[in-house]
Amino acid sequence: MAQIKQLTMDDMNIVRTAAIISEYPHILLRAEEKPLEHQSFSPAVIKTLVDAGYPISVERSSTDPKFKRIFEDSEYEAAGARLVDTGV
């Protein structure tokens, strides 16, 4: 019969941290698909949300100039967002 391990304070801190992280919804900022479309979240807003604990992913901007967003991908990454491929 397997022994049951008693949880230590470190184990409990890990569980508490996981519970806190899972309280926040994951935010995905989609790549622009229409000409003249603008994102509602600037890199400054992304940084505020990341600092508050929200996990944020940003789809990489199109290389087509007519679908380019007004902020660079690198600005979102510097703000703490994770860059992901479109459609992931």
Q: Is residue 5 part of a domain?
A: no
Q: What is the pLDDT of residues 32-73, one digit of tens each?
A: 777 666 657 899 999 999 999 889 999 998 888 777 788 899
Please provide the distance, in angstroms rounded to a whole number, between the alpha carbons at the two ends of the chain.
Answer: 43
Q: 16 lies in a domain?
A: no
pTM of the model: 0.66
- For residue 30, pLDDT over 90 is answered with no
Tell me which DSSP letter residue 65 carries: G
* Range of the structural domain that residue 76 is part of: 26-84
pLDDT at 15: 47
Instruction: Indicate if the pLDDT at residue 2 is higher than 60.
Output: no
- Find all residues with CB under 8 Å of 78, minimum gap 6, and list them: 43
Give which of 57, 47, 54, 56 is closest to 20, Cα–Cα. 54
Distance CA 85, CA 88 (A): 6
Residue 71 lies in a domain: yes
In-domain check, residue 21: no
- Split into its structural domains, the chain has a count of 1
Asked if pLDDT for residue 12 goes beyond 70, the answer is no
